[in-house]
Amino acid sequence: MKNELLYWLILSSVKNLSIQTKLKALAFLGSPAKVYEADRDYLLGVGFSPANFEKLRSEATKDDCRRIIEFCNKKRIKILTIDDDEYPEMLKYIYDPPLVLYVRGNIPRMNSIAIVGSRRASGYGIETAVKLSSQLALSGFMIVSGMARGIDTAAHCGALKENGTTIAVLGCGVDIPYPPENHSLMERIIESGAVISEYPPGTPPASFNFPGRNRIISGISLGTLVIEAGLKSGSLITAKYALEQGREVFAVPGNINHYNSEGCNRLIKDGAKMVLDVDDIVEELNFGIVPARSGESGKKAAGQSLGKEAAMIISALRIEDLYDEQIAEKTDIPLKNLYEILLDLELKGVVKKNLAGKYMLIT
């Protein structure tokens, strides 16, 4: 296994080679070790350049990857490959999933929603981000963001405020607090969830890392909520990735005279769902079934109650139609409990069996 991990890192470290080409080589050959050992002409035939091949087979590359593994072992940083069980399930199905993730903390199997927005957020934006992330955490969602200043920080804090789970996706190594003032926040996130990155430890933050980071934020999540964004905001890149990945896009409307509202208002004009309160998100992601939120006093949640296990089933079926045994495997729900939940979801008109006997969502 350790040797296999080494070859995962070597393949992942080959720059200027698309993830799609790497995945194609893996599909043909079966493992990163076999890709490493493959003939030069074969790899050139599947899309490697001569420089890519030299990088793959370089002893310097192998030594660098050994050092990364050693460093991660010392610093208790997990290295997840796309084959690992803890690797986020929904992320596997985007066009260009990272082959390797570096993780501090633990990534639970939960429905998640991304919350992103301006680094130069207004007081209204910060207040809204904290409020919505808190309520989403109470509704059983994991909050995913990028730990940047402004809306990202507020989103993480809102989830932590309610003892919820949150994940930060970085555009640098997971050993580097960025921005520096979020060092304590980073440690709190690790306690409840995880800090993750596709970049090896020691990688400094760089502007060209962040667009790629944004595809992971949206790729992990059922949907992306944008709170305050200018027309050139990086948050709109995340929303664009979400659309390309077939995920939902939500936006909070803002003052038409404020620069930070232009991006959100434009998203709504172009078809993103406008969010006025948390139920606008929850109803969309749970097919109109709103789960009761713990911590609400004197207010009954609208609609029917949806348990966490049912939400996990819906999350799995959003990716693909599945047999009951496959659902049980992906959600860790025992079959004897699964059948009762599936029946309930069928009666509510959320799922049905197709002609092949697989369960599917009713859209």
What's the distance, CA 336 to chain centroid? Answer: 30
Asked which of 73-77, 112-116, 354-358 is least confident by mean pLDDT, the reply is 354-358
Task: Quickly list H helices, 50-150.
Answer: 50-57, 59-75, 123-138
Asked which of 2-6, 16-20, 86-90, 303-307 is least confident by mean pLDDT, the reply is 303-307
**What is the predicted pLDDT for the residue at 314?**
85
**Residue located via tokens 């595809």:** 215
Within a 10 A sphere around the Cβ of 263, how many other Cβ atoms?
Answer: 24
**What is the predicted pLDDT for the residue at 45?**
95
**What is the predicted pLDDT for the residue at 316?**
83
Instruction: List, in sequence order, every beta strand (DSSP E) within the chain.
Output: 78-81, 100-105, 112-117, 142-145, 166-169, 194-197, 223-227, 248-251, 273-274, 351-353, 359-361
Tell me: the pLDDT tens digits for 194-233? 999 999 999 999 999 999 999 999 999 999 999 999 998 9
Average of per-residue pLDDT across 28-54: 96
**What is the predicted pLDDT for the residue at 300?**
35
At residue 2, does pLDDT exceed 80?
Answer: no
Average of per-residue pLDDT across 158-180: 96
The 8-class DSSP code of residue 302 comes to S
Tell me: the pLDDT tens digits for 285-329? 875 555 555 554 333 333 344 677 888 888 888 888 899 999 998
**What is the predicted pLDDT for the residue at 94?**
93
Mean pLDDT, the chain, as a whole number? Answer: 91
